[in-house]
């Protein structure tokens, strides 16, 4: 139904009801939201408590808006091939909440009916092994949208994969949302370009064991993106394995964020193979600017990676780290009091306020060398109170598993201790 002026949202009729699959894979009646023509073009679909967000997504066309009223919606929504605007009525407890049932360990996850999104994430065959889909469910997942994506003013809770994720997006904007207790990423932009992630609140939850603590891969991830053109600005990220993670991605800015209580605060990481959409790609990670961030108290202990095969690095107490990436500018950051939760000698990844790390070839069957850290500018930062050092440059003298860094410009920083020692010498 369309109206040229302001209109009250009509209540859905019996004919406008359809079937939806619940998290337990049972069938239940769900009201199909009604649409109202928007003044700026496209249709606005309004979803009320008791109605289905997925039903609105299925009805909508690219360019439409879905407005979700305040309430709790137990859903994992797949947006396949559409560029939509999805807006809630606030990210607080009394706002718009997209939740997944409470769970502690993966064997407690409810069954879920397969969709294009979950199949894409899992890479498996749901017909032969439907159980593998259970840990690949996101709150809002945009798969290869054909137009810009906008998400704002809502929260996501407890999803076994991500809170809000986009694969293959051009123009992905996430603003003023909250992500709680997701197993992978709070917000993820993968194989995407022209991304802006701003003013979000992200909180991890440790569901691991004492031997293998795990609080989700990262609060914010920009991954597998050759031309990310990403702006990650003014977010509050706490309690994840990694706070902000730029992996296998090029061209972006991380600025004015508060990052605390993670194992690593901000990580710019270049390995030698993309993961999304598959492992055949290669992006030379780098060309990032990190500026005006406060990175403090990143003192959690965790094992790096997801799954037993990758979770092999003991990590804790790292503020900012650049691994094998090139052309990184680190300016005007306040990096303080990042201290490992365990004995630094037991760690397999260098702890400290700022660590520049060159690893040998890793994480790829072909032995492709991502190259050393190179072309890094570190200026006008406060790096204080970190342990075991405020600044560390990798070298074989630090560890036989590390290589030397390339060109590093280090000027006008405030710091107390470093490796090599002359970096912070008075």
HSE-up of 254 (CA within 13 Å, CB side)?
A: 31
- Token pair of 370 as six digits: 């991502």
pLDDT, position 136: 74
HSE-up of 8 (CA within 13 Å, CB side)?
A: 3
Q: Map tokens 């060109």 to a residue.
A: 407
- Percent above pLDDT 90 for the chain: 65
pLDDT, position 135: 59
User: Is 8 contained in some domain?
Assistant: no
- Token pair of 110 as six digits: 């409810």
User: Is 326 contained in some domain?
Assistant: yes
Average pLDDT (127-144) is 72
User: Is 95 contained in some domain?
Assistant: yes
Cα 196-197-199 angle, rounded to 5 deg: 130
Instruction: Tell me the CATH number at 158.
Output: 2.160.20
User: Is 258 contained in some domain?
Assistant: yes
Task: Please give the residue range of the domain that contains residue 111.
Answer: 14-424
Q: Would you say residue 306 has pLDDT above 60? A: no
User: Is 3 contained in some domain?
Assistant: no
pLDDT, position 375: 97
- CA dist., res. 56 & res. 61, Å (int): 10
When divided into structural domains, the chain yields a total of 1
**In 75-167, which ranges are E strands?**
77-80, 85-87, 96-99, 140-143, 149-152, 155-157, 164-167
Higher-scoring residue by pLDDT: 364, 349: 349
Read off the pTM: 0.88
pLDDT, position 4: 28
User: Is 131 contained in some domain?
Assistant: yes
Q: Would you say residue 340 has pLDDT above 80? A: yes
Please give the C-alpha separations between residue 85 and each of 46, 150, 183, 203, in angstroms, as whole numbers. 12, 4, 25, 24
User: Is 5 contained in some domain?
Assistant: no
pLDDT, position 163: 98
57: pLDDT confidence band, cut at 50, 70 and 90? very high
pLDDT, position 36: 58
Q: Would you say residue 210 has pLDDT above 90? A: no
Q: Would you say residue 134 has pLDDT above 60? A: no
Mean pLDDT over each residue of the chain, to the nearest integer: 85
User: Is 1 contained in some domain?
Assistant: no
309: pLDDT confidence band, cut at 50, 70 and 90? very low
Asked whether the beta carbons of 79 and 142 are under 8 A apart, the reply is yes
Cis omega (within 30 of 0) for bond into 277: yes
């Amino acid at each position: 139904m369309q109206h040229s002026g302001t209109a009250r949202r009509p209540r859905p009729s019996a004919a406008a009801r359809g079937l939806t699959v619940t998290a337990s894979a049972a069938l239940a009646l769900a009201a199909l939201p009604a649409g109202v023509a928007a003044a700026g073009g496209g249709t606005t679909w309004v979803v009320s408590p008791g109605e289905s967000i997925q039903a609105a997504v299925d009805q909508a066309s690219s360019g439409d808006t879905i407005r979700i009223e305040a309430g709790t919606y137990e859903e994992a929504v797949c947006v396949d091939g559409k560029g939509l605007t999805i807006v809630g009525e606030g990210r607080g407890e009394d706002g718009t909440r997209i939740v997944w049932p409470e769970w502690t360990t993966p064997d407690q996850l409810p069954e879920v009916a397969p969709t294009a999104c979950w199949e894409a994430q899992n890479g498996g065959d749901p017909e032969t092994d439907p159980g593998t889909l259970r840990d690949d469910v996101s709150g809002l997942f945009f798969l290869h949208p054909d137009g810009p994506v906008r998400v704002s003013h809502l929260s996501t809770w407890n999803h076994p994969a991500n809170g809000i994720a986009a694969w293959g997006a051009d123009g992905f904007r996430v603003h003023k949302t909250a992500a709680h207790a997701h197993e992978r990423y709070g917000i993820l932009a993968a194989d995407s370009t022209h991304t802006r992630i701003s003013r979000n609140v992200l909180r991890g939850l440790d569901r691991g064991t004492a031997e293998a603590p795990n609080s989700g891969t990262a609060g914010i991830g920009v991954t597998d993106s050759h031309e990310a053109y990403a702006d990650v600005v003014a977010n509050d990220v706490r309690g994840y394995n990694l706070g902000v993670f730029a992996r296998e991605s090029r061209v972006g800015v991380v600025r004015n964020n508060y990052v605390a209580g993670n194992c690593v605060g901000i990580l710019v990481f270049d390995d030698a193979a993309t993961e999304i959409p598959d492992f055949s790609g290669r992006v030379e990670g780098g060309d990032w600017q990190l500026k005006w961030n406060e990175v403090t108290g990143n003192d959690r202990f965790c094992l790096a990676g997801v799954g037993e095969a990758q979770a092999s690095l003991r990590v804790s107490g790292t503020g900012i780290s650049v691994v094998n990436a090139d052309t990184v500018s680190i300016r005007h950051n306040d990096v303080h009091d990042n201290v490992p939760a365990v004995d630094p000698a037991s760690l397999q990844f260098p702890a400290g306020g700022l660590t520049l790390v060159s690893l040998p070839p890793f994480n790829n069957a072909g032995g492709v060398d991502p190259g050393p850290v190179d072309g890094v500018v570190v200026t006008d930062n406060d790096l204080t109170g970190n342990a075991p050092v405020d600044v560390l440059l990798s070298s074989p003298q630090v560890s036989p598993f590390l290589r030397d860094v390339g060109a590093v410009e280090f000027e006008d920083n405030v710091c107390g201790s470093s490796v090599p020692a002359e970096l912070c010498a008075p």
